[in-house]
């Protein structure tokens, strides 16, 4: 929990979202080293997607922070993004056709809608962080190295954002907390510091 409210992290988040911020969610995401017996088709990966598709939020952006606990490089499945897609709105998602997708709801943006040739790799060294908008199209390939790739993902929203009903992904935000500032909207259950 201390990492989610670390001043250096919140300084960056506030620069994007403003002074009043809700901590929506946090979790570890790890891709473990490849074993010699692993088939390339079975290795975990993250399909092309937009975070906003899964979060059921409106009225403000979702900001994802990735804190690298290990080096996150091409070989162990670093983040890839399609620049500018955060301005393109929500793209259609479907059930992933390839096995091994690490996304909880196993969805993907169809490849024909993703300009993969424009993908930019976003490597990080352990201790570095990246941030991206919830509409940015992004993915990560399998870990084909002998090294673990683990990161701590934190999702933030401005206090003016609010949950919406999404029949494809019913969500409850019981763990949402006020990360900094004040909450004059009270759109999430029990935000407090």
Tell me the per-residue pLDDT of 54-93, one tens digit each, with 9 for 90 and over: 888 889 999 999 999 999 999 999 999 999 999 999 999 9
Give 143-185 pLDDT, tens digit per residue. Answer: 999 999 999 999 999 999 998 877 666 677 777 999 999 999 9
- Domains within the chain, CATH numbers bracketed: 3-161 (2.60.120.620)
> What is the sign of the dihedral through the CA atoms of 28, 33, 37 and 40?
positive
How many residues would you count in the chain?
193
pLDDT at 49 over 80: yes
Is pTM beyond 0.95? Reply is no
Taking the C-alpha atoms of residue 73 and residue 145, their distance in angstroms, rounded to an integer, is 10
The phi, psi pair for 7, rounded to 5°, reads -55, -40
Cβ proximity of 80 and 114 under 8 Å: no
């Amino acid at each position: 929990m201390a990492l989610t409210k670390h001043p250096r992290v919140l300084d960056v988040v506030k620069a994007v979202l403003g002074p009043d911020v809700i901590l929506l969610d946090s979790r570890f995401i790890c891709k473990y080293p490849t074993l010699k017996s692993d088939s390339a088709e079975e290795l975990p990966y993250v399909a092309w997607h937009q975070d906003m598709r899964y979060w059921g939020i409106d009225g403000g952006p979702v900001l994802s922070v990735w804190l690298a606990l290990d080096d996150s490089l091409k070989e162990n499945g670093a983040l890839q993004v399609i620049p500018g897609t955060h301005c393109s709105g929500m793209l259609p998602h479907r059930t992933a056709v390839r096995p091994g997708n690490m996304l909880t709801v196993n969805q993907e943006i169809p490849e024909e809608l993703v300009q993969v040739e424009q993908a930019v790799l976003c490597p990080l060294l352990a201790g570095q962080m990246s941030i991206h908008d919830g509409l940015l199209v992004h993915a990560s390939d399998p870990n084909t190295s002998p090294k673990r790739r683990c990161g701590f993902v934190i999702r933030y929203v401005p206090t003016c954002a609010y949950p919406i009903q999404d029949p494809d992904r019913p969500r409850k935000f019981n763990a949402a907390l006020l990360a900094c500032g004040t909450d004059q909207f009270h759109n999430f259950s029990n935000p407090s510091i």
